[in-house]
Amino acid sequence: MTIKQKNTTLVISFFGVLLLGYFLSISVTLSLKKNYDTLKTQEQIYSNIPKRLQILSQKERYYDSLLQHYQITETSLQNNLLKTIDRYAINHNIKIISFDEPHSVIQNGKKTNSYAFRVSGDFNAILGLAYQLEQRSKFGMIASLEFEKLKNYRTGQTTLEGAFVLQLVQ
């Protein structure tokens, strides 16, 4: 055997040993390291669970207090809305003319309920009702408020009516 053949045999056997060493030990070590890293990230995620649970329970208590403060009970939102409008109407001398069934639309995965109703009374009282519904009681947003001046020809009186459309996105 010549020196050249010995050197080529040595180089080929060296690469063979490297390849054999990679498949027998290094590849297993790399896969175990990858598994270790995923387990470490999962451990970090699971270590935050008690803190997240505590934050969620605090949020639940806060939202329950909001529901109690705004007097929203287990009854439907429509009943609570009508109760709020009626309470405001009694205090500010306006009259509820109509309260229609809610209209529901599902768009982009979000459900939007629209409540349409009409009231009659003073301009400032109707605007106050809009403010009460949108800002204080937080039922949703006023999508439309249309004023109409009507005249009763029998009595000769003119009245102002407000047509509301209140939207709530859930």
Q: Which two tokens stand for residue 78?
A: 């429509």
Q: Given the structure tokens 């349409």, which residue do they identify?
A: 116
Mind listing the pLDDT tens digit for each residue in 80-114? 888 888 888 888 888 888 888 888 888 888 888 88
Residue 61 CA neighbour count, 13 Å, CB half: 5
Q: Is the pLDDT of residue 134 over 90?
A: no
Give me the pLDDT at residue 72, please. Answer: 59
Q: Is the pLDDT of residue 36 over 90?
A: yes
Q: Is the pLDDT of residue 149 over 60?
A: yes
What is the arithmetic mean of pLDDT over 48-75? Answer: 79
Highest mean pLDDT out of 35-39, 83-87, 110-114, 127-131:
35-39
Q: Please state, in angstroms and as integers, the Cα–Cα distance from residue 124 to each residue in 116, 146, 167, following that order.
A: 20, 14, 22
Q: Output DSSP code: residue 76.
A: -
Report how far Cα 7 is from the mean position of its chain's Cα atoms.
72
Mind listing the pLDDT tens digit for each residue in 55-65? 989 988 888 88
Give me the pLDDT at residue 118, please. Answer: 92
The number of residues making up the chain comes to 170
